[in-house]
Amino acid sequence: MNLPTHLRTLALMGALWGALSSSAVADEVVLKFHHIWPTVAMGHTRVTVPWCDTIAKESNNRMRCQILPAMSGGGTPGQLVDRVKDGVDDLTITLPGYTPGRFPIMEAFELPFMTNTADVASAAAWEYYNKYATKEFPGTKILATWVHDEGFISTSNKAVRTLEDFKGLKIRAASRQSSKLLARLGATPVGMPIPAVADAMTKGTVDGFLTAWEIIPSFKLQEVSKYHTEVEASRPSLFTAGFIFAMNQAKYDSLPADLKRIIDKNSGITLSRTIGRYWDEATAVGRKAAADRGNTFIKVTPAETDKWIQASAPLYDEWVSDMDKKGLPGKQMLQDAKDLIKKHSTTK
């Protein structure tokens, strides 16, 4: 059938528009971003959402996130490292320590009395990761690494002021190294992800927990604890836990070059240190939540803090030995981690 010229033109234009529309839809990249925090948490509001807004803006909305907070995408916190590796999720923020012993190289920054501020340790962790730990995360592109603000102990019925006070307490540990620390201090460690802590405290499954101030308000942990024990401020932090911001490597590899550049621009040491600074800044907010409830703050004396440091010192030798058994230069790795913390302490 011969169509009039103007109809053929309209038909051609419609086909062209449809092709262009299909191409635009095909070119849009939606990244499934799965994490542990509720939407009120600082990690969601200051890290996840702004990062997603940035890549959407810089890509003219060709690349955007579908954010799945509070494990709403399914699975457990401990499964996130595999979910992103296997491509079930495209992006995630999680703690490698939720799978104890699986990422021992990065545990250097989880050793007790190792770090002070999160921003310094986070920048150091990024450099250390790139030198030693990239092979620990096959199938995964790490966009940032960081640690939280200084860790402390919260308890419900018994205050912790001395080593003797740890005896008989079941305390939630955040990682393998913090479990070892608690055992060295005389407590019984109980490993669990942070979302499970409030319920465990309410039921009496644990008597207390190790964590950082940043997360306290998000999970209302000030409501299930009464005492908060912090070590002497002139000493390094009692403990810290490490985070990773991870992307499925195959998903990254599938992106066109310009979208890869946007991902690259918004990852690395600057992002790591910035996120660490956010954790430092959140300390005051978390402490205020506990203070407003009338909870008791305990500052361990310098002399007592030194006893805790001495009690936990063998964990350094254990970690070095573990690395040596894997054919890695454990002593040098530990020294590098310390040197990197010192280096970034002078570049704040």
- List the beta bridge partners of residue 243: 146
Could you tell me if residue 316 is inside a domain? no
In a domain, 322, yes or no: no
pLDDT tens-digit readout, 221-242: 999 999 999 999 999 999 999 9
Residues above pLDDT 70, as percent of the chain: 92
Domain check: are 256 and 207 in the same one? Answer: no
Q: Whole-structure pTM over 0.75, yes or no?
A: yes
pLDDT of 70 strictly over 80: yes
For the chain, percent of residues with pLDDT exceeding 90: 91
pLDDT-derived band at 27 (thresholds 50, 70, 90) equals: confident
Alpha helices in the chain (DSSP H): 5-27, 42, 49-58, 80-86, 118-128, 176-185, 197-203, 249-254, 257-265, 269-292, 302-312, 314-325, 330-345
Domain count, the chain: 2
pLDDT higher than 80, residue 347: no
Given a cut of 60, whether residue 131 has pLDDT beyond it is yes
Same domain, 88 and 67: yes
pLDDT digits (tens, 9 = 90+) for 315-339: 999 999 999 999 999 999 999 999 9
Say what the pLDDT of residue 100 is: 93
Question: In the predicted model, what is the mean pLDDT of residues 46-70?
Answer: 98
What span, in angstroms and rounded, lies between the C-alpha atoms of 269 and 275? 10
Q: What is the dihedral of CA 173, 179, 184, 188, to 10 degrees?
A: 60
Predicted pLDDT at 348: 60
Summarised one tens digit per residue, pLDDT across range 249-307 is 999 999 999 999 999 999 999 999 999 999 999 999 999 999 999 999 999 999 999 99
Same-domain pairing of 36 and 181: no
pLDDT of residue 14 exceeding 70: no
- The whole-number pLDDT of residue 21 equals 39
- Answer yes or no: is 341 within a domain: no
Those residues with Cβ within 8 angstroms of residue 72's Cβ, 6 or more apart along the chain or in another chain: 34
CB neighbours of 180 closer than 8 A, spacing ≥ 6? 189, 315, 318
pLDDT score of 19: 42
Q: What is the mean pLDDT of residues 147-176?
A: 97
- Residue 123 is assigned to a structural domain of this protein: yes
Are 267 and 188 in the same domain? Answer: no
Q: For residues 177 and 65, state if they share a domain.
A: no
Domain membership of residue 19 (yes or no) is no
CA gap 195, 91 in Å, rounded? 20
Residue 5 within a domain: no
Same domain, 58 and 130: yes
Domain presence at residue 143:
yes
Q: Are residues 43 and 182 in the same domain?
A: no
Other CB atoms within a 10 A radius of the CB of residue 177 amount to 27
Q: Report the alpha-carbon angle 209-117-33, nearest 5.
A: 70
Do 118 and 220 share a domain, yes or no? no
Q: What per-residue confidence (pLDDT) applies to 77?
A: 95
- Tokens (6 digits) for 59: 């890509």
pLDDT at 2: 54
Do 59 and 46 lie in a common domain?
yes
Answer whether residue 235 is part of any domain.
Answer: yes
Which residues, 6+ apart, have CB-to-CB distance to 211 below 8 Å? 151, 152, 154, 172, 174, 194, 197, 221
pLDDT-based confidence at residue 25 (cuts at 50, 70, 90): very low
Asked if residue 140 and residue 173 are part of one domain, the reply reads no
| Confidence check: pLDDT of 24 > 50 | no
- DSSP assigned state of 167: T
Q: Has residue 1 got a pLDDT over 50?
A: no
327: left (phi over 0), alpha (psi -120 to 50) or beta: left
What CATH number has the domain bearing residue 227? 3.40.190.170
CA–CA dist 44, 215 (Å, integer): 11
Q: How confident is the model at residue 4 (pLDDT cuts 50, 70, 90)?
A: low
**Residue 215 to residues 60, 99, 151, Cα–Cα distance (Å):** 33, 20, 11
User: Residue 187: which domain range?
Assistant: 151-240+283-310
Distance CA 199, CA 193 (A): 11
On average, the pLDDT of the chain sits at 93
**Same domain, yes or no: 189 and 226:** yes
Tell me the backbone φ, ψ of residue 143, rounded to 5 degrees: -95, -30
Could you tell me if 175 and 291 lie in one domain? yes
